[in-house]
Structure 1
Amino acid sequence: MTAKPSVGKLSAPLVEALVQDAETLRLAVDRTATGARIVDAGIAVRGGLEAGRRIIEICLGGLGRATFQSDVRFKRWGQAVHVTTADPVIACLGSQYAGWSLSEGDFFALGSGPGRALAAKETLYEELAYKDASDSAALVLEVDKRPPDTLIAQIAKDCGVAEDKLTLILTPTSSLAGTVQVVGRVLEVALHKAHTIHFPLERIVDGFGTAPVPPPGADFLTAMGRTNDAVLYGGEIALYVEGPEDEAEQLANGLPSSTSRDHGRPFGEVFAGYNYDFYACDAGLFSPALVTVTALSTGKSFTAGAYEPALIERSFGG
């Protein structure tokens, strides 16, 4: 494996700071009987926007920054999350992407964050030629209940760390922190789609993304719809790539959510139309609304897609 930054080591201070500031951030922290640390960011406690912002940076493996900024694109929804990274491929796909399937009994979650790169259970890591080494692990789970202790023990084992060196951060989608951390994946979904349409990941040099912060939904389905719509119809990203100019243009044209057959309706309606089967939805929908790709070889930029203010209002304002 090529020597690359350790997302585990870079994110460890961010995890410790989150725990240290738990009371201020309205989080709860406890440990299992065998020592694993559980951070509740919105189940039995309120959590908040700032907690969500920090969790984005943990998910990015210490290789990215998330900030709140004013957003004038949508009349009623004037706050956005802006994400930048030092290494978009490792930060977004090697760490932030929710790609580790975790289940036991009736519990199921997709693990995201730096701990994924320690376990490296997904074939994606072979393509990235990346596997992390760290003595501590952190994962973010978008769930509204605690994982079984036996599953927690297995996660620690798969990550190759002692249980007391494992931290699981739980972020229900309908919580404030959960809402923010999902919207903070706006750049990650673009990287994932670039991978899906077979653009060489090693040619993606840099990038950033912005998406509006929706009001949290009162229930999981509403929350999932709003957070997805924030990206699909309000998300904007820019990528800087190496290689021929025409291939940068092809990437720009292939990335936006408007390329999908399911584009044009709030995600909640799309999801219901597939009988709530997430995997029946067109995978090409999960990408930002507006995309700009710059070819570093010539400095020329290509833009495709468009915001959908009416769909944002329909989704957020319901």
Structure 2
Amino acid sequence: MSKPTRISVNSRAGALVDRLIADCERLRVIPSKGSRGETLIDAGAAAKGGLDAGLLLAEICLGGLGTVTLTPYLGMPNWPFHLTVRTSDPVIACLGSQYAGWSLAHGDFFALGSGPGRALACKEPLFHDLGYRDEADRATLVLEGDLPPPVEIVDKVAEDCGVAPDHLTFIYAPTRSLAGNVQVVARVLEVALHKVHELKFPLANVLDGVASAPMSPPHPDFITAMGRTNDAIIYGGFAHLFVTGPAAEARDLAAALPSTNSRDHGRPFAEIFKAFDFDFYKIDPMLFSPAVALVTAVDSGETFRAGRVSQDLLDASFG
């Protein structure tokens, strides 16, 4: 693994965490301290949270290396507001920080850790491919769920990240909440980058990226809420990547990226999930992609497109 770079996703995200705490009343989040001195921020469980909290939470997940905005999009009249994500360092922002890849479990507690703390612990094989390891004296993790982590998880994360427990921040929000819903849909670019990695396209050739997906309405039922956030990306997401290298490789990447290549494409995600007995690992992994991919080969100036939006499936999912 290469030596630490000068970019610290935890330091950059830490500045955004400080903003979240300082503006907690307006953003309707609840900060508190845990038994080890760790900072806990409820962004959507007992707290009401909201769209603004979700946008800031998404940028924290990106390690302070990306911008997330909510903008109108006239191409989908039934669902006219899209979350747009852009970053000039998509590999580190999306795969090195935002990706929910750190499995944290103790007793009845289970959560996937997302955010910059992953790049301090580097517990996932993915970091060997990224060649990136952060170096910072504070760490932040984001958890999709209703509960803060138990003390055993706090101790484990502090040890694995190499920071004192009172320099740890855990932000949690369930998918059914407004903030949780926003931060999940804002993974549209990360989903594209994860597929790029799975397709074994050279990550070093990915220069820049921008992506968008319709803001799905939240739902109090977990399966429905989770299905809607997946459908926003799978059936309504756009991703545009800018890459170096031969144009033929860019063309092949664009053709392989969209969710339309999956055998499971064609039904709302909640239906697919139920059909496979609520087992993610039985679902075709090719499904987890944006609906439409654009790849620009910057060396030749050519852009390649593939995939399609499925408005009818978005309508069926969103209600």
Question: Please, what TM-score do these two structures have when normalized by structure 2?
Answer: 0.98
Match of 1:90 among 75, 92, 111: 92
How far apart are 1:198 and its partner, in Å?
A: 0.6
Counterpart residue number, 1:111: 113
Output the CA distance in 2 between the equivalents of 1:272 and 1:45: 30
- 1:140-170: per-residue Cα shift (whole Å, max 9, x none)? 0001122211111211111111111100000
Counterpart residue number, 2:183: 181
Residue pair 2:138, 2:168 contacting (<8 A) in 1 also: yes
Output the CA distance in 1 between the equivalents of 2:307 and 2:189: 15
- 1:146-199: per-residue Cα shift (whole Å, max 9, x none)? 221111121111111111110000010000000000000000000000100110
Q: How many pairs does the alignment contain?
A: 317
How far apart are 1:74 and its partner, in Å?
A: 2.0
Output the CA distance in 2 between the equivalents of 1:313 and 1:139: 33
Extract structure 1 runs of 4+ deviating beyond 3 A. Answer: none
Residue pair 1:88, 1:204 contacting (<8 A) in 2 also: yes
Match of 2:18 among 16, 19, 33: 16
Counterparts of residues 114-129 of structure 1 (less than 5 Å): 114-129=116-131
Output the CA distance in 2 between the equivalents of 1:6 and 1:147: 24
Output the CA distance in 2 between the equivalents of 1:12 and 1:147: 19
Matched, 1:277 2:279: yes
Match of 2:163 among 158, 161, 164: 161
Residue pair 2:101, 2:114 contacting (<8 A) in 1 also: yes
- Counterpart secondary structure, 1:194: helix
How far apart are 1:75 and its partner, in Å?
A: 2.3
Residue pair 1:4, 1:130 contacting (<8 A) in 2 also: no
Counterpart residue number, 2:217: 215
Report the residue type matching 1:88 in the other structure: P
How far apart are 1:12 and its partner, in Å?
A: 1.1
Counterpart residue number, 2:140: 138
Output the CA distance in 1 between the equivalents of 2:261 and 2:169: 38
- 1:108-142: per-residue Cα shift (whole Å, max 9, x none)? 11101000000000111111111100000000000
- 1:204-223: per-residue Cα shift (whole Å, max 9, x none)? 00010000001101111010
Counterpart residue number, 1:150: 152
Output the CA distance in 2 between the equivalents of 1:192 and 1:34: 34
Alignment identity in percent? 54
Output the CA distance in 2 between the equivalents of 1:37 and 1:280: 37
Report the residue type matching 2:104 in the other structure: L
Report the residue type matching 1:22 in the other structure: C
Root-mean-square deviation (Å): 0.8
Counterpart residue number, 2:195: 193
Gaps spanning 5+ residues in structure 1: where? none
Question: Please, what TM-score do these two structures have when normalized by structure 1?
Answer: 0.98
Counterpart residue number, 1:64: 66
Gaps spanning 5+ residues in structure 2: where? none
How far apart are 1:23 and its partner, in Å?
A: 1.1
Report the residue type matching 2:98 in the other structure: Q
Counterpart residue number, 2:297: 295
Deviates more, 1:143-152 or 1:90-99: 143-152
Output the CA distance in 2 between the equivalents of 1:146 and 1:10: 23
Output the CA distance in 2 between the equivalents of 1:159 and 1:21: 27
Residue pair 2:148, 2:170 contacting (<8 A) in 1 also: no
Output the CA distance in 1 between the equivalents of 2:104 and 2:242: 34
Counterparts of residues 228-247 of structure 1 (less than 5 Å): 228-247=230-249
